[in-house]
Amino acid sequence: MSTLAPRSVSSGALGVEGLTNARLAHRRSRIWKERLIELLLFAAALLSVFVTVGIVYVLVSESVQFFEHVPLSSFLFDRQWTPLFDDAHFGIGVLLSGTITSSAVALSIAIPLGTIIAIYLSEFAAFKLREVAKPFLELLGGIPTIIYGYFALLFVTPLLQRVWPELPGFNLLSAGIVMGIMIIPYVASLSEDAMRAVPMSLREGSYAMGATRFQTATRVVVPAAFSGIASAYILGISRAVGETMILAVAAGMQPNFTFNPAEPAATITSYIVQVALGDLPHGSIGYQTIFVAGLSLMLLTLGFNIGGHVLRKKYREAY
Amino acid sequence: MTGGTAVRPRRTEAEAQDLLEIRRLIASHKRWDAVFGVVGVIALMIGVLTFVALFVDMAINGVPRLDWDFFTSFPSRRAGQAGILSAWVGSTLVMLVTAFVAVPLGVAAGVYLEEYARKNWLTDLIEINITNLAGVPSIVYGLLALGLFVYAFGFGQSILSAGLTLGLLILPIVIVATREAIRGIPQSVREGSYALGATQWQTVRDHILPYSSAGILTGIIIGMARAIGETAPIITIGALTFIAFLPPSPLEGNPFAWLFSPFTVMPIQMFNWTSRPEATFQVNAAAAGFVLVLMTLAMNGLAIWLRYRLRKNIKW
């Protein structure tokens, strides 16, 4: 604004019109600058949409080329996955079985433990403990997954083999267990947030009726926070399905149509890693398979997210 | 009660029975409280103990291997002479590109959505899209980068491709952190600024951004900690696992040649060593892993501490 001051002094010489013109010009340039900046900021925000468009475009365009060679029916129903052999088979079910089995193991650990921890921290624990435990859980969630992979292969598997000697060195079980532990912080932290958001008056009402803490937690707080807890579960499922390195390290990368967690198997994600580690020519059918695998993964997580959205809508509680 | 007010009502046999029943019921319900108190602690302990086991196991195996040579040697066929020089240099350079992409774009997008965006379908679309991007598995970003950066744009399997990939990957984290930090600033600050004749951008530049900078920094650190440990997307774009040279120095020749250099990063080096059957290489993996864990823990710890300080100090 300081630039305006000398102008107003000389307004006698310039006349009122000159002053107004100078001010208008200043104002105009200011408005243009503001518009330009807003446009730049808008472009940055819009970029995120282009990332999504880019993902969909890359996955779909490569997949379309893939389906020119392989009929959809054999992709869905073939029970072999041998894309790099002479006798090539492309049954996504093989990779899907590994993904489903390892995710099932992981979720059977992460969901109960995560929920218990969330209820405990939100309804039972002293304030001090919560203040310490929440950041600790966050730290756990920040550990790189390759570290968990190392831990699964070289710590958990030997440990399991001590109780169960026939367990092979690569298996879905130990990968799934470690994956579950990795997911606990996400489930616990988000569920706890949801439970804390439940208004105190609901708890007070419950206590006034003579309910204990446990009854209040399980019959009042959890149902009231259910939509938030459901989102936590959905996030956990997406993490499990999309997890890559733990499986690539500890579950072996052999395609294997199995629902037995004690066997080694490839998942959708570890297959992509395996192919990327090799040297596949750009544009070959092997190259296209990783995009088809990626598309399947996206559709799978999309399906879970839509399911979660429906669930949330249905059980949403408003206060 | 049939008795007079002065007389204490005598309980009948049945009423006494009821009272006992009620007390037993209360006691059994309270027992559940105690049981759950223990179960909760056990569940929490499983998490804590796993972390301790992971950390201690890695420290026992890896720390004896850590010496100066480990940081200044290239990977080698002989496990005893192998080091992480190319890996940590690669990680540093990739992080540089990542920060260069994610910070300006993320902060700008966050500022736009909080301060400028009108309530319309386009804004809704952008918001929903950012939420969804945060849930996309990281390997899918690798596929995007493989199709787009490596082949369509022709950047190859380079530091530039990797940095761009990780930059896009952590973009939602930076955007969300920026928005949360800005949302904490009371409306009166903006009104005061406008009342003195400042434009919207002047308000953002001189007030909104400085006041939210600590919160934004927290988000950036968390995002970078995530990026430094990401393995899958970088393997997907085809990073090599065995690199025995450093990218060209910016001081000699083309100052941007390093952007297009092949590279490896810490987690990939660790993956490579972990997946070898020889125990000696797995010791290397433990050592590299220990360094990586310390790095991510330090970064996340710094972010958590910053946020804690912030919550304590700022009272509008």
What would the DSSP string read from start to end of chain A? Answer: -TTHHHHHHTHHHHHHHHHHHHHHHHHHHHHHHHHHHHHHHHHHHHHHHHHHHHHHHHHHHHHHHHHHHS-HHHHHH-S-B-TTSSS--B-HHHHHHHHHHHHHHHHHHHHHHHHHHHHIIIIIS-HHHHHHHHHHHHHHHTS-HHHHHHHIIIIIHHHHHHH-TT--SS-HHHHHHHHHHHHHHHHHHHHHHHHHTS-HHHHHHHHHTT--HHHHIIIIIHHHTHHHHHHHHHHHHHHHHH--HHHHHHS-S-------TTS----HHHHHHHHHHS-PPTTSHHHHHHHHHHHHHHHHHHHHHHHHHHHHHHH----
Distance CA A279, CA B51 (A): 36
**Do A112 and A29 reside in the same domain of the chain?**
no
Domain stops at, among A69, A84, A109: A69
| pLDDT for A14 | 56
Task: Using a CB–CB cutoff of 8 Å, tell me whether B30 touches chain A.
Answer: yes
Q: How close A86 comes to chain B (CA, Å)? A: 24
Does residue A81 lie in a domain region?
A: no
Q: Evaluate whether A224 touches A297 at the Cβ level (below 8 Å).
A: no
**Do A117 and A241 reside in the same domain of the chain?**
yes
Does residue A76 lie in a domain region?
A: no
Q: Identify residue B136 by its one-letter amino acid code.
A: V
Residue among B138, B126, B46 nearest A238 (CA):
B138
Q: How close A276 comes to chain B (CA, Å)? A: 5
Q: How close A178 comes to chain B (CA, Å)? A: 9
Give me the interface pTM, i.e. the ipTM: 0.86
Does residue A22 lie in a domain region?
A: yes
| pLDDT for A7 | 47
CB proximity list for B66: less than 8 A, separation 6 or greater: B287, B290, B291
| pLDDT for B69 | 82
**Do A260 and A114 reside in the same domain of the chain?**
yes
Residues 168-187 of B with CB under 8 A from A: 168, 171-172, 175
Burial of B122 (0-12, 13-18, 19+ CB in 10 A): middle
**Do A40 and A97 reside in the same domain of the chain?**
no
**Do A204 and A311 reside in the same domain of the chain?**
yes
Task: Using a CB–CB cutoff of 8 Å, tell me whether A242 touches chain B.
Answer: yes
Residue among A282, A84, A142 nearest B292 (CA):
A142
- Beta-carbon pairs below 8 A across chains A and B: 256
Does residue A80 lie in a domain region?
A: no
Integer CA distances (angstroms), A305 to A298, B51, B131, B133, in order? 10, 29, 11, 12
Q: Evaluate whether A94 touches A256 at the Cβ level (below 8 Å).
A: yes
Q: Evaluate whether B174 touches A44 at the Cβ level (below 8 Å).
A: no
**Do A32 and A141 reside in the same domain of the chain?**
no
Residue A214, pLDDT above cutoff 70: yes
**Do A63 and A185 reside in the same domain of the chain?**
no
**Do A23 and A137 reside in the same domain of the chain?**
no
What percentage of chain A's residues is helix, strand, coil (to nearest 5)? 80, 0, 20
For residue range A95-133, what is the model confidence (pLDDT) as tens digits?
999 999 999 999 999 999 999 999 999 998 888 888 888
| Nearest CB to B32 within list A214, A235, A297 | A214
A147/B58 CB distance under 8 A = yes
For residue range A230-271, what is the model confidence (pLDDT) as tens digits?
889 998 999 999 999 999 998 888 888 888 888 888 999 999
The more confident residue out of A285 and B40 is: B40
| pLDDT for A109 | 94
C-alpha radius of gyration, chain B, whole number: 29
Strands (DSSP E) found in B101-143? none
Selected for mutation to probe chain B from A150, A212, A216, A301 (highest B CB count within 10 Å) is: A150
Task: Using a CB–CB cutoff of 8 Å, tell me whether B153 touches chain A.
Answer: no
The more confident residue out of A141 and B166 is: B166
Q: Evaluate whether B144 touches A298 at the Cβ level (below 8 Å).
A: no
Distance CA B146, CA B232 (A): 12
The more confident residue out of A160 and A19 is: A160
Sign of the Cα torsion B64, B70, B75, B76 reads negative
**Do A98 and A239 reside in the same domain of the chain?**
yes
Does residue A270 lie in a domain region?
A: yes
* pTM for the whole structure: 0.87
Does residue A87 lie in a domain region?
A: no
Q: Identify residue A200 by its one-letter amino acid code.
A: M
Task: Using a CB–CB cutoff of 8 Å, tell me whether A229 touches chain B.
Answer: no
Q: Within chain B, which residues score under 50 in pLDDT?
A: 1-4
Distance CA B127, CA A230 (A): 20
Helix (H, G, I), strand (E, B), or coil: what is residue A81? Answer: strand
Directed axis angle between helix A172-196 and helix A127-141, to 10°? Answer: 140
The number of beta carbons lying within 10 Å of the beta carbon of residue A204 is 11
Domain stops at, among A37, A69, A101: A69
Distance CA B252, CA B249 (A): 6
DSSP letter at A123 equals I
**Do A65 and A138 reside in the same domain of the chain?**
no
As a three-state string, the secondary structure of A153-209 is HHHHHHHHHHHCCCCCCCCHHHHHHHHHHHHHHHHHHHHHHHHHCCCHHHHHHHHHC
| pLDDT for A306 | 86
Burial of A15 (0-12, 13-18, 19+ CB in 10 A): exposed
From chain A, the residues in CB contact with B226 under 8 A are: 142
| pLDDT for B14 | 83
Does residue A83 lie in a domain region?
A: no
B67-313 is a CATH 1.10.3720.10 domain: yes
Q: Scanning every residue of chain A, which has its alpha carbon at the shortest distance from the alpha carbon of B122?
A: A46
Distance CA A223, CA A236 (A): 19
Q: Evaluate whether B165 touches B214 at the Cβ level (below 8 Å).
A: no
Residue among A63, A54, A52 nearest A296 (CA):
A63
B147/A40 CB distance under 8 A = no
B39/A121 CB distance under 8 A = no
As a three-state string, the secondary structure of B47-83 is HHHHHHHHHHHHHHHHHHHCCHHHHHCCCCCCHHHCC
Q: Evaluate whether B225 touches B300 at the Cβ level (below 8 Å).
A: yes
**Do A111 and A41 reside in the same domain of the chain?**
no
Residues 150-209 of A with CB under 8 A from B: 150-151, 153-155, 181, 184-185, 188
Task: Using a CB–CB cutoff of 8 Å, tell me whether A299 touches chain B.
Answer: no
A142/B109 CB distance under 8 A = no
Residues 71-90 of A with CB under 8 A from B: none
Distance CA A254, CA B15 (A): 70
| pLDDT for A11 | 45
Does residue A78 lie in a domain region?
A: no
CA A67 to chain centre: 28
Domain stops at, among A69, A103, A123: A69
Q: Evaluate whether B43 touches A120 at the Cβ level (below 8 Å).
A: yes
Q: How close B136 comes to chain A (CA, Å)? A: 7
Q: Identify residue A240 by its one-letter amino acid code.
A: A
Task: Using a CB–CB cutoff of 8 Å, tell me whether A113 touches chain B.
Answer: yes
Residue A1 banded pLDDT, cuts 50, 70, 90 = very low
Q: How close A217 comes to chain B (CA, Å)? A: 10
Helix (H, G, I), strand (E, B), or coil: what is residue B153? Answer: coil
Task: Using a CB–CB cutoff of 8 Å, tell me whether A133 touches chain B.
Answer: yes
| pLDDT for A2 | 43
Residue A160, pLDDT above cutoff 80: yes
B292/A144 CB distance under 8 A = yes
Q: Where are the domains of chain B?
A: 12-65, 67-313
Q: Scanning every residue of chain B, which has its alpha carbon at the shortest distance from the alpha carbon of A178?
A: B50
Q: Scanning every residue of chain B, which has its alpha carbon at the shortest distance from the alpha carbon of A113?
A: B43
| pLDDT for B1 | 45
Q: Evaluate whether B293 touches B270 at the Cβ level (below 8 Å).
A: no
Task: Find the domain containing A21 and state its range.
Answer: 4-69
B39/A137 CB distance under 8 A = no
**Do A33 and A116 reside in the same domain of the chain?**
no
| pLDDT for B314 | 66
Integer CA distances (angstroms), B193 to A162, B81, B196, B204, B209, in order? 68, 61, 5, 9, 13
From chain A, the residues in CB contact with B164 under 8 A are: none
| pLDDT for B111 | 95
B229/A138 CB distance under 8 A = no
| pLDDT for A21 | 85
B229/A145 CB distance under 8 A = yes
Residue A20 banded pLDDT, cuts 50, 70, 90 = confident
CATH of the domain at A126: 1.10.3720.10
